[in-house]
């Protein structure tokens, strides 16, 4: 990954908790580290094959000078979102917002915050439950996913009742798929999914066995990942009608679903 740095850009802004900060303004210093996957301009020497520094500078200037919020953390998030929108080839941005004239009693050089944000990707997850109140388990998992910082544009497919796969002597499942945009990285998202599953008392005693909730990452944008702990796209998604039936409500997968198991509509949504 290649990095472009725009360091210590100074703008007059009005971000602050106090009325006099919003009225009088003060100096803000912004630094950016911008990451792109092997900048093509390194080989072509063509301005079109790298990030437009001027466009990024003007985007930062507009955000800082127009913001009237309270927190520099929120200002940093707005800058990160704005920079990522300037060029779809930007994979990640690290934003540092410094406030050297912060109204804090004491001796200091500056008050600053640094955040790191990835390009937002559209993620699709499969959810299933066949223990306890199956629908409540699914809805609770969805609410926990929606509440994750960095998740937006949440969409839900209908809920389907499905015949179990693998270990057949167990209750029928309820299954659905959800999709959302996020800048949470795939491995961090996997960790957060495990926390949600554990909170909902997920047990992993039997492979393909009954569970209160099961959440799998099916797609993460166009990424292809092959690691022992995570494979994306999910390696068996196209073989499972309990995935493909609700999935088709969120994404055109360009194929009929397999007739491997019984799937029936339980609750229509969307």
Whichever domain contains 188, its CATH number is 3.30.70.560
Say whether pLDDT at 218 is over 90. yes
> What would the 3-class secondary structure string for 143-197 be?
HHHHCCCCEEEEEECCEEEECCCCCCCCCCEEEEEEEEEECCCHHHHHHHHHHHH
Which of 85, 118, 151 is at the close of a domain? 118
Q: Which two tokens stand for residue 148?
A: 């994750």
CATH of the domain at 78: 3.30.1130.10
Say whether pLDDT at 12 is over 70. yes
Say whether pLDDT at 255 is over 90. no
Lowest mean pLDDT among 168-182, 220-234, 245-259: 245-259
Looking at the structure of the chain, the number of domains it has is 2
> Model-level pTM greater than 0.85?
no
Q: What is the mean pLDDT of residues 95-112?
A: 96
Question: Which residues does 54 contact at the CB level (< 8 Å), separation at least 6?
Answer: none
Specify whether 105 is located in the same domain as 164.
Answer: no
Specify whether 130 is located in the same domain as 193.
Answer: yes
Specify whether 102 is located in the same domain as 209.
Answer: no
Residue 99: active-site member = yes
Specify whether 87 is located in the same domain as 31.
Answer: yes
* pLDDT on residue 204: 52
Of 22, 55, 85, 99, catalytic: 99
Say whether pLDDT at 227 is over 90. yes
Average pLDDT across the chain, whole number: 92
Q: Are 175 and 244 in contact (CB under 8 A)?
A: no
Query: pLDDT, tens digit, for every residue of 153-180?
Result: 999 999 999 988 766 677 899 999 999 9
* pLDDT on residue 257: 65
Q: Which one has a higher pLDDT value, 228 or 169?
A: 228
Specify whether 254 is located in the same domain as 173.
Answer: yes
Domain encompassing residue 165: 121-267
Q: What is the mean pLDDT of residues 239-248?
A: 91
pLDDT category at 201 given cuts 50, 70, 90 is: confident
Q: Which two tokens stand for residue 255?
A: 């194929």
Specify whether 180 is located in the same domain as 255.
Answer: yes
Query: pLDDT, tens digit, for every residue of 48-58?
Result: 999 999 999 99
Q: What is the mean pLDDT of residues 200-214?
A: 68
In which element (H, E) is residue 112 found? strand 111-118
Specify whether 251 is located in the same domain as 138.
Answer: yes
Specify whether 108 is located in the same domain as 44.
Answer: yes
* pLDDT on residue 270: 67
Q: Which two tokens stand for residue 5?
A: 């740095």
């Amino acid at each position: 990954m290649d990095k472009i740095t725009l360091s210590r850009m100074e703008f007059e802004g009005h971000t602050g908790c106090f009325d006099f900060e919003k009225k009088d303004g003060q100096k803000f210093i912004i630094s950016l580290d911008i990451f792109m996957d092997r900048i093509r301009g390194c080989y072509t020497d063509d301005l079109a094959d790298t990030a437009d520094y001027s466009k990024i500078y003007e985007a930062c200037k507009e955000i800082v000078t127009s913001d009237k919020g309270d927190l520099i953390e929120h200002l940093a998030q707005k800058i990160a979102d704005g920079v990522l929108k300037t060029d779809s080839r930007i994979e990640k941005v690290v934003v540092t917002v410094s406030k050297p004239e912060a109204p804090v009693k004491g001796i200091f050089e500056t008050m600053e915050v640094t955040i790191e944000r990835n390009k937002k990707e559209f993620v699709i997850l499969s959810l299933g439950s066949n223990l306890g109140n199956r629908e409540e388990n699914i809805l609770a998992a969805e609410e926990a996913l929606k509440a994750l910082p960095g998740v937006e544009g949440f969409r839900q497919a209908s809920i389907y009742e499905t015949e179990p796969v693998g270990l057949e002597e167990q209750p029928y499942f309820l299954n659905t798929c959800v999709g959302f945009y996020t800048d949470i990285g795939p491995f961090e998202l996997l960790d957060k999914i495990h926390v949600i599953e554990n909170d909902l008392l997920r047990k992993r005693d039997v492979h393909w066995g009954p569970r209160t909730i099961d959440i799998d990452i099916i797609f993460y944008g166009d990424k292809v990942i092959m690691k022992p702990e995570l494979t994306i796209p999910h390696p068996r998604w196209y073989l499972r009608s309990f995935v493909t039936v609700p999935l088709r409500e969120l994404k055109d997968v360009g194929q009929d679903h397999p007739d491997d198991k019984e799937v029936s509509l339980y609750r229509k949504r969307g």
